[in-house]
Chains A and B, each alone.
Chain A
Amino acid sequence: DQQVKQNSPSLSVQEGRISILNCDYTNSMFDYFLWYKKYPAEGPTFLISISSIKDKNEDGRFTVFLNKSAKHLSLHIVPSQPGDSAVYFCAASDNTDKLIFGTGTRLQVFP
């Protein structure tokens, strides 16, 4: 029972363009959502989060959008840079420290 789904295993984007990574969830009790980035041989690194009381949160080149009615969130990276190439995980929690992760989307940004 995959409560958090990232249906695109990979995404390829040209440098300078927008990268849009998507995530869907099924549990309506989730009230906090996060995006993590992971490079090979390293642990995930926190990128950005959003509470269920908001529908948008911005941090520099990264913006997360939350659509609660559709149970959908997305991460926008603008402009995309080669250093953004990594695996991106979305995660959700229900006001506990138990994070439920998606299976990840591998982003490749090419010149």
Chain B
Amino acid sequence: KAGVTQTPRYLIKTRGQQVTLSCSPISGHRSVSWYQQTPGQGLQFLFEYFSETQRNKGNFPGRFSGRQFSNSRSEMNVSTLELGDSALYLCASSPGTGYHQYFGPGTRLTVL
């Protein structure tokens, strides 16, 4: 099976812009989660979608949003970018609760 894929792999934006990141889960996986990784903070949970519904949400401002499509593909959007949004954004998929998550390679976002 193909693994979790994320596009683009690298992105450079300026403050105030918005960005959309894409994630294609492993075939058959219905749960998609998003995490932000920054130096010293580890991986922080953003949100999780299952069958197009947001099931869990982390402690991030409303500028961070996401959605999931009927084919389980997911997108994450960050509006009004700030310098502190520079991070590695990781997507993970799983068949559902009780299974471990499989991670994609991440999208490295740099905000200038």
Contact = CB atoms under 8 A, between A and B. Distances in A.
| A and B: bona fide binding partners | yes
Interface of A: 6, 32, 34, 36, 41-46, 49, 89, 91, 95-104
B40 interface: yes
B7 to A, nearest CB: 14
B41 A103 contact: yes
A6 B33 CA distance: 22
Contacts of A6: 42
A98 B58 contact: yes
A32 B104 CA distance: 22
7 contacts: A97-B97, A99-B43, A99-B45, A99-B92, A99-B101, A101-B42, A101-B45
B1 interface: no
Q: Is the interface of A mostly helix, strand, loop or mixed?
A: loop
A32 B100 CA distance: 10
Given A97-B31, A97-B94, A103 B40 contact: yes
Q: Is the interface of B mostly helix, strand, loop or mixed?
A: strand
Interface stretch (B14-22, B48-56, B66-74, B77-85): B48-56
Contacts of A95: 97-98
Nearest to A34: B100
Interface of B: 4, 31, 33, 35, 40-45, 48, 50, 55-56, 58, 90, 92, 94, 96-98, 100-106
A97 B4 contact: no
A41 B103 CA distance: 12
A102 B42 contact: yes
A97 B42 contact: no
A102 B43 CA distance: 7
Given A96-B55, A96-B97, A97-B31, 19 more contacts: A6-B42, A32-B98, A42-B105, A42-B106, A43-B4, A43-B105, A43-B106, A44-B90, A46-B100, A89-B42, A95-B98, A97-B50, A97-B96, A98-B48, A98-B58, A99-B101, A103-B40, A103-B42, A104-B42
